[in-house]
């Protein structure tokens, strides 16, 4: 669609129709001093000039194409097959907006249906929506679902300390207005080692939801079976925040008894990007389908018995339920959901398993090698982990990461800000993109920068 | 449109049928007609709950709207119509008989005096 501005005569006709003399008069409600401020910006440039200037500014940034990336903590540098972007940019798909009219949107609707089916297969759940903004906002929706499922009668939500600190922060921000809701369980005073026992001891009949992460924020694979049982015995729901890549080798949370699965979909073929767009995964058991937010596509048939796809169970949503809807989330990241669908389809079941295995093996090699370095220690070496692990360093992580930049290496995530007791601790992520030689290069660089 | 004489009605379109100290509660013919095809009924109360007049009984979803149903009187829940979970369309086809939603034991029968009789409710519906 082209952009066609109004002509002067059209503007004049419109102003006349509403009996206003000048466009400026429409802004009278805004205090004059704020109305048309002088902007301190340079004079205009031609397209060629501005492109060159912007490219110069952009080239000051380094990307994961330039640097070796060991940074994860929720978003990961995986290889994205070229076909993902190629298919994604087809005109038929290139809109993130909701397909309200099924008669002209069968392709988009089918793609969303396939996305939901893939997420259900991956997580072991019955229903997936499509979708949320990112892992953090999907985690928030789990809290909101649980709160409304118990009609506000259960007022406690327990968060494991090993849930991504950003997710926990976003949950607190979103639920700020829920005055009777207590978000707790992740106090700094609780030692990480006794996190789960602490959570378990706090589960009671007032608990609406227990939120766990799998693998947890430190990459650890923990058997949550007894904790999930304890929550269910008290009548509470359990939500598990997952890394989808890890489910290529781990038991799906649905089989562990999770009621809700949320997660960051970025590892499924979306590029790393500050601020997104990412993709919030959200899946539940059928029992909760009436309480979930977001879009759901269902498969049915038309009057000729041909398969047909439609948006379904829309009475959950705010355009029908109005102020009684439990969430204001409607359309979300449709294009990103499509990208992840293409990515998963390209890899296939075997490819996805291989990917998980590669990440796992490479991360374990890296952990072994780093643990041998003088002054470095892999902290949870006896706990199973996936493709990320916590390392105690001989000096502040910020200093190490700064020095690693000289080697064109993007170091791990400095956890000391979120976990003050973990001073000098870094979280190292290793994906399939990293080679053995590159892991060895990281070890050499670490050895050098540690003892400068 | 039917307005059975033996029922009392609330302004928010619930009916109540008194049988001594017990009462059945549902939604009126007018309400089901306004909502059109009902696809889901959620009862928000549980057996044994003590409820007050005006509390939310549940939610009825149709193909075009979702609306709350409220308790027209105070009391205690003694029975819930489980059939509605699988066959919500009963509310459309038989709102006054098979479509009862909940049975309660009245705690304050004087609350009934504030409700409308069939004539008053029919007039009230016509004016809307």
Task: Delimit the domains of chain A by residue range.
Answer: 68-79+353-450, 82-342
Residue B3 lies in a domain: no
CA angle in degrees (0–180, nearest 5) for B27-B29-B33: 105
**Residues A141-193 pLDDT 10s:** 999 999 999 988 999 999 999 999 999 999 999 999 999 999 999 988 888 88
Residue A26: Cβ within 10 Å count? 11
Residue B128 lies in a domain: no
Token representation of residue A426: 């870094």
Q: Identify which of A51, A129, A183 has the alpha carbon closest to the alpha carbon of residue A293.
A: A129
CA distance B97 to B15: 11
The answer to whether domain A82-342 has CATH 3.40.640.10 is yes
A192 SS3 class: helix
CA distance A42 to A332: 36
Token representation of residue B69: 């149903």
Pair A393, A387: CB distance under 8 Å: no
Q: Identify which of A107, A120, A87, A116 has the alpha carbon closest to the alpha carbon of residue A346.
A: A87
CA distance A331 to chain B (A): 19
Maximum alpha-carbon separation in chain B: 38
CA distance B30 to chain A (A): 20
CA distance B67 to B71: 13
The phi, psi pair for A180, rounded to 5°, reads: -95, 5
The confidence score (pLDDT) of residue A5 equals: 83
Tell which wins on pLDDT, A37 or A355.
A355
Residue B51 lies in a domain: yes
B66 and chain A in contact, CB less than 8 A:
yes
Q: What is the mean pLDDT of residues B66-81?
A: 93
- Give the chain A residue nearest B68 (alpha carbons): A324
Residue B47 lies in a domain: yes
Measure CA B12 to chain center: 9
Token representation of residue A95: 């809109």
The confidence score (pLDDT) of residue A97 equals: 66
Among B40, B44, B62, the residue with its CB nearest the CB of A290 is: B40
What would the DSSP string read from start to end of B62-105? ESS-EEEEE-SS-EEEEEE-THHHH-TTHHHH-TTTTT--EEEE
Measure CA B113 to chain center: 17
Q: By percentage, how much of chain A surpasses pLDDT 90?
A: 77
Residues 45-64 on B with a CB inside 8 Å of A are 59, 61-64
Query: Which residues in chain A have their CB less than 8 angstroms from residue B44's CB?
Result: 151
Query: Spelled out in words, what is the top-level CATH class assigned to the domain A68-79+353-450?
Result: alpha beta
**Residues A126-149 pLDDT 10s:** 999 999 999 999 999 999 999 999
Pair A160, A199: CB distance under 8 Å: yes
Query: Which residues in chain B have their CB less than 8 angstroms from residue A315's CB?
Result: 39-40, 61-63, 65-66
CB contact under 8 A, B66 and A324: yes
We report the CATH number of the domain holding residue B77 as 2.40.50.100
**What is the span of the domain harbouring residue B47?**
8-107+115-121
- Give the chain A residue nearest B63 (alpha carbons): A315
pTM for the whole structure: 0.87
Q: What is the mean pLDDT of residues A197-215?
A: 96
CB contact under 8 A, B59 and A324: yes
Query: Which residues in chain B have their CB less than 8 angstroms from residue A324's CB?
Result: 59, 66, 68
Q: Identify which of A189, A184, A153 has the alpha carbon closest to the alpha carbon of residue A171.
A: A184
- The residue among B35, B61, B86 with the most chain A CBs within 10 A of its CB, best to mutate, is B61
């Amino acid at each position: 669609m082209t952009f066609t501005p109004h002509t002067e005569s059209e503007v004049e006709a419109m102003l006349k129709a509403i009996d206003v003399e000048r466009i400026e008069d429409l802004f009278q409600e805004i205090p004059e001093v704020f109305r048309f401020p002088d902007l301190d910006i340079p004079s205009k440039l031609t397209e060629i000039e501005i492109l060159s200037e912007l490219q110069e500014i952009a080239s000051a940034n380094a990307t994961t194409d330039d640097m070796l990336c060991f940074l994860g903590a929720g978003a990961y540098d995986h290889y994205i097959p070229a076909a993902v972007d190629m298919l994604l940019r087809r005109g038929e798909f290139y809109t993130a907006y909701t397909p309200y009219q099924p008669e002209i949107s069968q392709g988009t609707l089918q793609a969303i249906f396939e996305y939901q089916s893939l997420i259900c297969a991956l997580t072991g759940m019955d229903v997936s929506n499509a979708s949320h903004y990112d892992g953090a906002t999907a985690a928030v929706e789990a809290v909101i679902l649980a709160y409304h499922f118990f009609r506000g009668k259960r007022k406690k939500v327990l968060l494991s300390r090993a849930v991504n600190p950003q997710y926990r922060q976003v949950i607190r921000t979103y639920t700020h207005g829920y005055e009777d809701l207590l978000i707790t369980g992740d106090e700094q005073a609780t030692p990480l080692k006794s996190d789960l026992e602490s959570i378990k001891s706090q589960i009671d009949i007032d608990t609406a939801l227990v939120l766990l992460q799998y693998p947890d924020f430190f990459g650890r694979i923990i058997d949550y079976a007894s904790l999930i049982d304890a929550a269910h015995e008290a009548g509470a729901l359990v939500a598990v925040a997952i890394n989808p890549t890890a489910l290529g080798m781990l038991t799906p949370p649905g089989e562990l008894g999770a009621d809700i699965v949320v997660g960051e979909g970025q590892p499924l073929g979306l590029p790393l990007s500050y601020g997104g767009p990412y993709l919030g995964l959200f899946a539940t058991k059928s029992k909760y389908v009436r309480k979930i937010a977001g879009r759901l596509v269902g498969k049915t048939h038309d009057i000729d018995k041909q398969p047909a796809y439609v948006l379904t169970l829309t009475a959950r949503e705010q355009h029908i339920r109005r102020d009684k809807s439990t969430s204001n989330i409607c359309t979300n990241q449709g294009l990103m959901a499509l990208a992840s669908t293409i990515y998963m389809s390209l890899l296939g079941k075997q490819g996805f398993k291989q990917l998980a295995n590669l990440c796992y093996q490479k991360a374990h090699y890296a952990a072994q090698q780093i643990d041998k370095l003088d002054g470095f220690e892999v902290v949870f070496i006896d706990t199973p982990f996936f493709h990320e692990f916590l390392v105690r360093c001989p000096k502040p992580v910020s200093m190490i990461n700064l020095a690693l930049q000289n080697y064109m290496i993007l170091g791990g995530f400095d956890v000391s800000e979120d976990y003050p007791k973990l001073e000098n601790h870094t979280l190292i992520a290793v994906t399939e993109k990293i080679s053995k030689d590159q892991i060895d290069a990281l070890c050499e660089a670490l050895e050098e920068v540690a003892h400068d | 449109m039917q307005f059975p004489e033996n029922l009392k009605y609330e302004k928010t379109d619930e009916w109540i049928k008194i049988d001594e100290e017990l009462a059945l509660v549902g939604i009126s013919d007018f309400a089901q007609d306004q909502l059109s095809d009902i696809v889901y009924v959620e009862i928000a109360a549980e057996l044994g709950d003590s409820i007050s007049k005006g509390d939310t009984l549940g939610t009825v979803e149709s193909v075009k709207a979702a609306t709350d149903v409220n308790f027209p009187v105070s009391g205690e829940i003694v029975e819930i119509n489980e059939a509605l979970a699988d066959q919500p369309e009963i509310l459309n086809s038989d709102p006054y008989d098979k479509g009862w939603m909940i049975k309660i034991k009245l705690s304050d029968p004087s609350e009934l005096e504030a409700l409308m009789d069939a004539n008053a409710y029919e007039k009230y519906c016509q004016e809307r």
